[in-house]
Each structure stands twice: as C-alpha cells, then as structure tokens.
C-alpha cells in the first residue's frame, strides 16, 4: 500500500512537472 501511494504521488509530481509547475517551486522565472 505504501508503494502504491508513492507511485501515486510520483505520478502527480511528474504530471505537474510536465505542465511546467512543481509543487515545491514558485512560478517565477529568472
């Protein structure tokens, strides 16, 4: 069950990365 949760979280993070926004990054550009 822990592994399924980790995979779910990873999939969600990857999805956001592909959209250009990560949950730990603020949407700013240098």
pLDDT for 13? 82
pLDDT of 4 higher than 90? yes
pLDDT for 21? 66
User: What string of DSSP letters covers 1-30?
Assistant: -HHHHHHHHHHHHHHHHHHT--TTS-S---
pLDDT for 28? 65
The predicted model scores a pTM of 0.50
Determine the Cα–Cα distance for residues 10 and 7; give it in Å rounded to an integer: 5
């Amino acid at each position: 069950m822990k592994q399924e949760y980790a995979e779910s979280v990873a999939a969600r993070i990857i999805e956001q990365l592909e959209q250009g926004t990560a949950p730990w990054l603020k949407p700013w550009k240098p």
